[in-house]
């Protein structure tokens, strides 16, 4: 018996950065995100050979310690009334752990696959709750389209399907394929514990979220881009002011931030965002993709660019 599940990465326009002290991965800030159909994780779950001592997990062909995944696998196994061990093989269409939200699509695909494998038939909200416990942002990746995850909520919601704004595009500029030295989990805890601006971030992010949500509802790219920019820059200000400071940026990241500024000055509607890594993501519309793409090499000659639209409903099948 085996199943194959796939889910798309969830890119936050407004960031989740910080956890409440209670519960597992309950957010201290609200987030608003889109599902990227170009960045997908596919996960195959099969029965382990008879008598196997534990579950096995491989990501992009490399064996990984199962501890991070075992709690989720155990919960589904118990719920499904099974004792069957599993082999999990997961592949990403993009670099893993480099600030490209691989944990969002990874844990969402795992939850959806385990649900099918153990026959637990959870609702989408329950799957979101389960995925959250693997990685916060994964609670948004169990849906396609546009999602919201409110402060302290134990699951995310889909607020629009992809056809709400099919013209949107994200250019993901990959500056390095090296995995990040500090995980988002460690980064969040360090900033929450030591940054003097962390409390202001939590307070201000509600207003940023509300403005972004209204802009998204109205398909107002300029207002959405402006709120998106405020969100990531405020998030990074908590990292820069942590003790010790946490700096995910590369010189190339800043070069691209400057280039986006120049493009806007030249009338190209494009806004950037970043996550817990050096990569820069540029938000624009389909008719501007070539104009934006042609300006990237002057700022960062070595970068590779992935263009993604919104979409990416998760899928699951026997396999």
Burial 257-292 (b: 16+ CB within 10 A, else e): bebbeebeeeeebbbbbbbbbbbbbbbbbeebbeeb
Residues of span 69-98 touching ligand PMV by CB under 6 A: none
- Name which of 113 and 187 has its Cβ closer to ligand PMV: 187
What sections of the chain are H helices per DSSP?
Answer: 70-79, 102-118, 124-134, 138-141, 184-194, 198-218, 221-240, 251-265, 289-299
Residues of span 182-201 touching ligand PMV by CB under 6 A: 184-185
Applying CB under 6 A, the span of 9-17, 115-123, 217-225, 264-272 interacting with ligand PMV comes to 9-17
Task: Tell me which DSSP letter residue 132 carries.
Answer: H
Strand partners of residue 283: 170, 271
308 touching ligand PMV, by CB under 6 A: no
Question: Token pair of 319, please?
Answer: 């396999």
Residues of span 117-156 touching ligand PMV by CB under 6 A: 135-137
Query: CA 315, CA 312: separation in Å to the nearest integer?
Result: 9
| Residue 239 near residue 246 (C-beta atoms within 8 A) | yes
- Name which of 57 and 289 has its Cβ closer to ligand PMV: 57
Binding-site member from 4, 5, 8, 15 for ligand PMV (CB under 6 A) = 15
209 touching ligand PMV, by CB under 6 A: no
275 touching ligand PMV, by CB under 6 A: yes
Binding-site member from 6, 8, 92, 103 for ligand PMV (CB under 6 A) = 103
276 touching ligand PMV, by CB under 6 A: yes
- Name which of 92 and 103 has its Cβ closer to ligand PMV: 103
Query: CA 297, CA 70: separation in Å to the nearest integer?
Result: 43
Q: Give the residue from 39, 37, 6 showing the smallest Cα distance to 277.
A: 39
16 touching ligand PMV, by CB under 6 A: yes
Chain positions contacting ligand PMV, by CB under 6 A: 12, 15-17, 31, 101, 103-104, 135-137, 184-185, 275-276
């Amino acid at each position: 018996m085996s199943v194959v599940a796939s889910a798309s990465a969830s890119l936050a326009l407004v960031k989740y950065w910080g956890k409440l002290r209670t519960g597992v991965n309950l957010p201290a800030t609200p987030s608003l995100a889109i599902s990227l159909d170009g960045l997908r994780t596919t996960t195959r779950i099969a029965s382990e050979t008879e008598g196997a001592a534990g579950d096995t997990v491989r990501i992009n062909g490399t064996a990984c310690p199962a501890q991070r995944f075992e709690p989720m696998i155990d919960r589904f196994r118990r719920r499904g009334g099974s004792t069957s061990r599993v082999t999990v093989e997961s592949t990403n269409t993009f670099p893993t752990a480099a600030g490209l939200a691989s944990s969002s699509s990874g844990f969402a695909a795992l939850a959806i696959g385990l649900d099918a494998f153990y026959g637990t038939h959870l609702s989408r909200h329950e799957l979101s709750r389960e995925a959250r416990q693997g990685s916060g942002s994964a609670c948004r990746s169990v849906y396609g389209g546009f999602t919201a995850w409110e402060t302290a909520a134990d699951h995310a919601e889909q607020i629009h399907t992809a056809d709400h704004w099919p013209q949107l595009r994200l250019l993901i500029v990959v500056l390095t394929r090296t995995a990040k030295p500090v995980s988002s989990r460690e980064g969040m805890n360090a900033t929450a514990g030591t940054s003097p601006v962390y409390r202001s971030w939590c307070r201000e992010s509600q207003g940023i979220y509300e403005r972004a949500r209204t802009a998204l509802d109205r398909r107002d790219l300029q207002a959405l881009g402006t709120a998106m920019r405020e969100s990531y820059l405020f998030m990074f200000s908590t990292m820069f002011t942590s003790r010790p400071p946490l700096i995910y940026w590369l010189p190339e990241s800043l070069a691209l931030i400057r280039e986006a500024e120049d493009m806007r000055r030249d009338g190209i509607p494009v806004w950037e965002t970043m996550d817990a890594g050096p990569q820069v993501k540029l938000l624009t519309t389909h008719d501007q993709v070539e104009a934006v793409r042609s300006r990237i090499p002057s700022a960062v000659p070595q970068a590779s660019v992935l263009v993604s639209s919104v979409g990416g409903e998760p899928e699951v099948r026997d396999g």
